[in-house]
Amino acid sequence: MNLDLLIVNITNPVLLFFILGIIASLLKSDLEIPPSSFKFISIYLLFSIGFKGGQELAHSEINSTILFNLLLGIIVSSLIPLYTFFILKRKLDTWNAGAIASAYGSVSAVTFVSATSFLEVQKIHFDGYLVAVMAFMEFPAIIVGVLLMKRYDTDKSKQLSIGQTLKHSISNGSVLIIIGSLVIGYISNIQQAAEFKPFTTDIFKGFLAIFLLEMGITIAKRFSAFKKQGGFIIAFSLVIPAVNGSLVAFLSQFVIDDIGNRFIFSILAASASYIAVPAAMRLVAPKADPGLYIPMALGVTFPFNLTIGLPMYFLIINATV
The string of pLDDT tens digits covering residues 80-112 is 999 999 999 998 989 999 999 999 999 988 899
> What's the pLDDT at 265?
97
**CA nearest 284: which of 78, 136, 94?**
94
Four-way CATH pick for 2-20+33-319: 1.20.1530.20, 3.30.2270.10, 3.10.620.30, 3.90.930.12:
1.20.1530.20
| Segment 296-310, tens digit of pLDDT | 888 889 889 988 999
Q: Which has more confidence, 159 or 105?
A: 105
Q: How far is CA 210 from CA 45, 135, 230, in A?
A: 11, 23, 31
Q: What percent of the chain has pLDDT over 90?
A: 31
Backbone angles phi and psi of 193, in degrees to 5: -65, -30
- List, for residues 203-226, the tens digit of each pLDDT value: 888 888 898 888 788 777 766 656
Nearest to 281 by CA among 165, 152, 123: 165
* The pLDDT of residue 98: 92
Predicted pLDDT at 158:
57
User: Where exactly are the structural domains of the chain?
Assistant: 2-20+33-319
Q: How far apart are CA 98 and CA 291, in angstroms?
A: 14
Would the pLDDT of 11 be above 80? no
The residues, ordered by sequence, that sit 6+ positions from 25 with a Cβ below 8 Å of its Cβ are 216, 217, 219, 220, 221
Contact 58, 121 (CB under 8 A): no
Q: How confident is the model at residue 1 (pLDDT cuts 50, 70, 90)?
A: very low
> pLDDT tens for residues 274-285?
877 876 787 777
Question: What confidence category does residue 55 fall into, taking pLDDT thresholds of 50, 70 and 90?
Answer: confident
**Which segment of 9-18, 40-49, 166-175, 254-263 scores lowest on mean pLDDT?**
166-175
Which is nearest to 122 in space by CA: 203, 209, 8, 3?
Answer: 8
Who has greater pLDDT, 24 or 18? 24
| 85 vs 100: CA distance, rounded Å | 8
CA dihedral (44, 46, 52, 58) positive or negative: negative
CA-to-CA separations, 98 to 102, 142, 153, 263, 298, in angstroms, rounded: 6, 9, 10, 27, 17
For residue 190, name the pLDDT band (cuts at 50, 70, 90). confident
CB of 133 closer than 8 Å to CB of 269: no
What distance in Å separates the CA atoms of residue 174 and residue 170, rounded to the nearest whole number?
Answer: 9
Averaged pLDDT of the chain: 85
Torsion of CA 45, 48, 54, 57, to 10 degrees: -90
Average pLDDT over residues 282-299: 80
CB 275 within 8 A of CB 109: yes
CB 153 within 8 A of CB 95: yes
* Average pLDDT, integer, range 186-200: 84
| Residue 287, φ and ψ in degrees, nearest 5 | -80, -15
